[in-house]
Chains A and B, each alone.
Chain A
Amino acid sequence: MPALLEVKGLRTQFQTREGLVYAVNGVTYQLEEGETLGIVGESGCGKTVNVLSLLRLIPEPPGKIAGGQALFQGKDLLKMSSDEIRHVRGAQIAMVFQDPMTSLNPVLTIGRQLTEALELHLGMNKEQSRQRSIELLEMVGIPKAGDRLNDYPHQFSGGMRQRVMISMALSCAPQVLIADEPTTALDVTIQAQIVELVKRLRDELGMAIIWITHDLGVIAGLAKRVIVMYAGFIIEEAPVKELYGDPRHPYTLGLLGSLPRLDETLHRRLVSIEGLPPDLLGLPPGCPFAPRCVYAMDRCHKENPPLESVSPGHWKACWVDTRREKTQ
């Protein structure tokens, strides 16, 4: 069976006054039906641009999808007309954004924002869409849903707004939910509420999720498979337990080492990755991580390593065998 979503060699660039910014540089991955995929990386690594490109939400110009394919149920999202993509967006692939404070329209009631998509995509009338909106708000755990439909976004707290965003994303029963740092702006106790909610809804509704985050902690308990991005490249991909248990790329190793753990008992010095992420204005010819890498050798500065399989389902883009290096 083909995958639900298949991204092949996606490249996205932005034209700026300083020159061309290489935001996403040929990423390839699949999303199976009902699967939760985590995409992890630091700011500017291209994780958000990658999914915005799929939904064609990149402003063109200055942005440009320079190449690649994104097959959703066999059809290329990147080649669809704007009419076609509008029927996919929100209806079959929905998105939850990072900041619940700014992604809701402040001058429309929550009810209006919820019913809009229902009327547009599912052709419901006013009464039906109102009923469905109440059900949706109840599903995400908003008390007194019927009364709250007439409230404006500012009358909700941050966690409640994110719940509204989730109910909006799920309103048309999408096959794919893309969540872009949905808990980053929230406190940890509220984050835990939202993560539990998404897990419950995933099990009830059976949708596939792409969860984008910089927080390796959240993804550990949520995803089945994880992709690590750096400078617009996928540098490692593995099933979640393998990525945390046996990371192979030096960047992944560094990232995991730089995290203090709540259950850590011995005081150790944090591993810090020296230097800064690269400037995406011009990419070095070699591996983008080489200037910060402790294992880097000559070849790393000259040739960019391709994504290679190390075991079934586990891929890394690195010339160095970090396992051998560590034991030496």
Chain B
Amino acid sequence: MSNDNILLKVEDLKKHFPITQGIIFMKQIGSVKAVDGISFDIKRGETLGLVGESGCGKSTTGRVILQLHRATSGKVFFTAADHQEHELTSLKGESLRRMRRKMQMIFQDPYASLNPRMTVGDIIGEPLVIHGVARGKEVQERVEELLKVVGLNSLFANRYPHEFSGGQRQRIGVARALALNPEFIVCDEPISALDVSIQAQVVNLLEDLQAQFNLTYLFIAHDLSMVRHISSRVAVMYLGIIVELASRDELYGNPLHPYAQALLSAVPVPDPLVEEKRQRIILQGDVPSPVNPPSGCRFHTRCPIAQSICSEARPEWREATAGGEHWVACHLVQ
């Protein structure tokens, strides 16, 4: 496969948040290892789903890629459509700001992510003004066009966010993300705050836009059924590391990591006939603290098949089948 196809390449990315003590002479007494060494790539035009339980570092991963948090270590290579490769973690100031046009974010909470004192037109138009790509009447025209693209009435530009429902607000958030014609969008739980019947509307919109503008998504979610629906490949995170990554059908059909297996078996299927026959793997206990993650394999404290090696050595991130593009981090998977 040619390198051309890779939009984003992440290498051994880490983000540790310091825990400090004291007020004036703040002393670091530890760190939350939110993301602790992950590597993967995202192909142009695909949707990579990132799943995991709360606190596993999936949102932090999205934010570190976009440089909203600066990485503790590791590299993020972004290859734009003009074939120029940029290493994002080393960019600063104006050069980073230029790159931001190409990568945008859709946030989880449509109530908190829109400024209540700005009109919808100002919210969607703000990126255009900041990046100087349009001014005056052009901004207004572009805003109207974007509102139509996301399925809202172009007359809504003068209204305020509180006048809209959750689903409509999320569409406004999508329009804002699209304003600068980005190539890559991080969707951070874009539907989890919405009602079931509205979720489908937003997911269908995201799929349509992807086809229309050739977008690449990193789709972060905890809803495994929705991730299966929208993604082409899926990565499973646990306590700051990716434990498995494979194409959608491979991951859901043949999960190898015991955590991925347990996670999938925990998801209820809306069909009583299927539910009757299903055997669940019930994990014991809760996710350990990312301040002092377990030694060796981080999952060994809850793993149903753990052996002594699992608490001793950190499993290597390796391809399970040669050339099969099915990656896993587990000692016990052959």
Q: Is there an interface contact between B200 and A214, defined as CB atoms closer than 8 Å?
A: no
How long is the Cα–Cα vector from A269 to B211 in the complex, in angstroms? 13
Q: What residues on A are CB-neighbors of B54 within 8 Å?
A: 187
Q: Is there an interface contact between B197 and A220, defined as CB atoms closer than 8 Å?
A: no
Enumerate 17 A-B pairs (CB-CB under 8 Å) in ascending A order. Answer: A42-B196, A187-B287, A189-B262, A193-B283, A195-B268, A196-B280, A216-B196, A220-B271, A241-B272, A244-B272, A244-B273, A254-B197, A260-B203, A260-B226, A261-B269, A263-B269, A276-B165
Number of B residues, CB within 8 Å of A: 43
9 pairs of A and B residues whose beta carbons are closest in the complex: A221-B275, A217-B268, A260-B229, A258-B200, A192-B266, A272-B200, A187-B53, A270-B200, A273-B197
Query: Which of the listed residues B198, B270, B287 has the most CB atoms from chain A within 10 Å of its own CB?
Result: B270
Is B13 interfacial (CB 8 A cutoff)? no
Q: Looking at the complex, which one of B53, B200, B275, B286 makes contact with A273 (CB distance below 8 Å)?
A: B200
Is B94 interfacial (CB 8 A cutoff)? no
In the complex, how many angstroms separate the beta carbon of A101 from the nearest chain B beta carbon? Answer: 12
Is A173 interfacial (CB 8 A cutoff)? no
How long is the Cα–Cα vector from A269 to B197 in the complex, in angstroms? 14
Q: Looking at the complex, which one of B198, B224, B270, B283 makes contact with A216 (CB distance below 8 Å)?
A: B270
CB under 8 Å from chain A, chain B span 204-251: 204, 207, 222, 224-226, 228-230
Q: Is there an interface contact between A215 and B268, defined as CB atoms closer than 8 Å?
A: yes
CB under 8 Å from chain A, chain B span 245-278: 252, 262-276, 278
Is A43 interfacial (CB 8 A cutoff)? yes
Q: Looking at the complex, which one of B203, B262, B273, B278 makes contact with A270 (CB distance below 8 Å)?
A: B203
Q: Is there an interface contact between A196 and B282, defined as CB atoms closer than 8 Å?
A: yes
How long is the Cα–Cα vector from A42 to B193 in the complex, in angstroms? 12
Q: Is there an interface contact between A262 and B262, defined as CB atoms closer than 8 Å?
A: no
Q: What residues on A are CB-neighbors of B265 within 8 Å?
A: 192
- 0/1 string, A236-265, CB within 8 A of B gives 1: 000011001100000000111111111110
In the complex, how many angstroms separate the beta carbon of B5 from the nearest chain A beta carbon? Answer: 21
Q: A220-B274, A255-B197, A260-B203 are in contact. List 15 more A-B contacts (CB 8 A).
A: A189-B263, A189-B283, A193-B283, A195-B268, A196-B282, A218-B268, A240-B272, A241-B273, A244-B272, A258-B200, A260-B230, A261-B269, A262-B224, A264-B229, A272-B201
Q: What residues on A are CB-neighbors of B271 within 8 Å?
A: 220, 244, 261, 263
Q: What residues on A are CB-neighbors of B275 within 8 Å?
A: 220-221
Q: What residues on B are CB-neighbors of A270 within 8 Å?
A: 200, 203-204, 229
Q: Given known contacts A244-B271, A261-B225, A270-B204, is B280 in contact with A277 (CB within 8 Å)?
A: no
Q: Given known contacts A42-B197, A270-B203, is B228 in contact with A260 (CB within 8 Å)?
A: yes
Looking across the interface, which residue of chain A has its beta carbon closest to that of B284? A193
